[in-house]
Copies of this chain bind each other. A is one copy, B any other.
């Protein structure tokens, strides 16, 4: 499994590995990990599993603080030698007192806009527990920041490594041998089983559930374990056969290449579930295809960094126009490969069929340097990128083919795993539904917190 994140508090082995590795570093990291001794590996495992903050001593004066009125900030000196600067405004704005932040909702009650520009500490006190500031405002408001809370939110500089990258990027043969599977009974019976399912989806981008009663009702109950169903112009929970309903080729018996769904939404659907309700003898063909889009992206990045960059920058317009009652387009087109503010890939959005005319807008103007050094227009470079991307997506290494089976529901992360199918003849009854990505991530976060597991990005408020 790929791991990510080494930080100032972690072991020597960990700190010899790249902090915030990009994909091309993943192999190096894996090699370092697999060549480490058993003891070093265990140490590394602990360092990764244990959240940064818990590695700080829980008592004793562990940091000192100095008021710096000339720069309008408080400087905190940490015991490991690092230092952070916190602007007065930031400190007051992030005050955790019950007058400043609602104790139930964790919503800010403080009116940030009305803070005085002359705001400054009247007194600061670095105790063993944290930093206490008494402010120079009318009512001498007092703020208290536990050291762990403060360190985790240090921004000048940021002392926090990106969340552990614990997604496992896979190749098809590996999934042929041991795809992620959970039991229906386990998912339905308790939090542990449900979290195991969600963790598998998080790690692999998909998972099967076996032993599902072959009915739409049971399938719907299963997906509702995660969250409510996302309604779209297709409706809510589906139960369909091939009839070109909703004016979309998905509702035919045609073969469909690997794609992600609903690229034409501002927020494409997060999870998708399929469950075959017909027995295998009612139709021929219609095998399902799954491709790990994050693994393909890592390969594209290694093979053709310039084309990867292009697919990370060019907003690709898309549309759904087949249904007389819907004409959908995202508020703003997004690139095929979208990254967060740290440059970490967060979503793949790729459906060549739903792509609208390209070339309009500033991002499409100008030239682009291909990986071989040639300069071409961005439109021409885009077609190079499409071909390089599809070559990877359609490779034997990437294409994981699997038959759907009654009783075995498939769920996948539509922002990571592309799906498709071979054409089929005969009758095929399939049911399924979408769940919002936001609600899926919410559920997993809450379950991990409830069950005392590490949470990737825990500094929520």
Interface residues of A (CB under 8 A from B): 72, 87, 89-90, 93-94, 102, 104-109, 111-113, 115, 153, 155-156, 158, 160, 228-231, 233, 244, 247-249, 257, 264-267, 315, 319, 321-322, 324-333, 338, 340-343, 346-347, 352-365, 377, 379-380, 383, 386-387, 389-391, 394, 415, 437-439, 441-442, 445-446, 449, 459-461
Q: How many Å from the CB of A3 to the closest CB on chain B?
A: 21
Provide the bound-state CA to CA distance between A248 and B333, in Å. Answer: 32
Q: Which residue of B lies closest to A363 (CB)?
A: B341
Q: Which residue of B lies closest to A106 (CB)?
A: B321
State whether A331 and B352 are in contact (beta carbons under 8 Å apart), knowing that A266-B267, A341-B362 are contacts in the complex: no
Q: Which residue of B lies closest to A101 (CB)?
A: B353
Q: Kindly identify which residue among B332, B343, B346, B357 contacts A461, using a CB–CB cutoff of 8 Å.
A: B357
**A265, B90: Cβ atoms closer than 8 Å:** no
Provide the bound-state CA to CA distance between A181 and B391, in Å. Answer: 55
Q: How many Å from the CB of A440 to the closest CB on chain B?
A: 11
When distances are taken between beta carbons in the complex, the residues of chain B under 8 Å from A441 are 329, 331
State whether A438 and B357 are in contact (beta carbons under 8 Å apart), knowing that A90-B379, A108-B352, A379-B156 are contacts in the complex: no
Provide the bound-state CA to CA distance between A326 and B442, in Å. Answer: 6
A-B contact pairs, 12 of them (CB 8 A): A72-B380, A105-B322, A111-B257, A115-B387, A266-B266, A321-B460, A325-B446, A327-B460, A329-B460, A330-B438, A331-B437, A332-B338
**A113, B322: Cβ atoms closer than 8 Å:** no
**A437, B266: Cβ atoms closer than 8 Å:** yes
Provide the bound-state CA to CA distance between A390 and B108, in Å. Answer: 15
State whether A352 and B112 are in contact (beta carbons under 8 Å apart), knowing that A319-B460, A377-B156 are contacts in the complex: yes
State whether A160 and B112 are in contact (beta carbons under 8 Å apart), knowing that A228-B231, A321-B106, A325-B446 are contacts in the complex: no
When distances are taken between beta carbons in the complex, the residues of chain B under 8 Å from A72 are 380
Dominant SS among interface residues on chain A: loop
Q: Kindly identify which residue among B107, B108, B359 contacts A248, using a CB–CB cutoff of 8 Å.
A: B107
Provide the bound-state CA to CA distance between A264 and B437, in Å. Answer: 12
**A107, B354: Cβ atoms closer than 8 Å:** yes
Q: Kindly identify which residue among B329, B346, B386 contacts A113, using a CB–CB cutoff of 8 Å.
A: B386
Q: How many Å from the CB of A278 to the closest CB on chain B?
A: 24
Provide the bound-state CA to CA distance between A128 and B369, in Å. Answer: 38
Q: Kindly identify which residue among B229, B231, B315, B438 contacts A265, using a CB–CB cutoff of 8 Å.
A: B438
Q: How many Å from the CB of A204 to the closest CB on chain B?
A: 19
Sorted from nearest, which 6 A-B pairs have the closest CB atoms?
A: A155-B359, A105-B322, A341-B361, A113-B390, A267-B267, A107-B353
State whether A379 and B315 are in contact (beta carbons under 8 Å apart), knowing that A322-B106, A327-B442 are contacts in the complex: no
Provide the bound-state CA to CA distance between A191 and B346, in Å. Answer: 41
**A359, B90: Cβ atoms closer than 8 Å:** yes
Provide the bound-state CA to CA distance between A227 and B460, in Å. Answer: 33
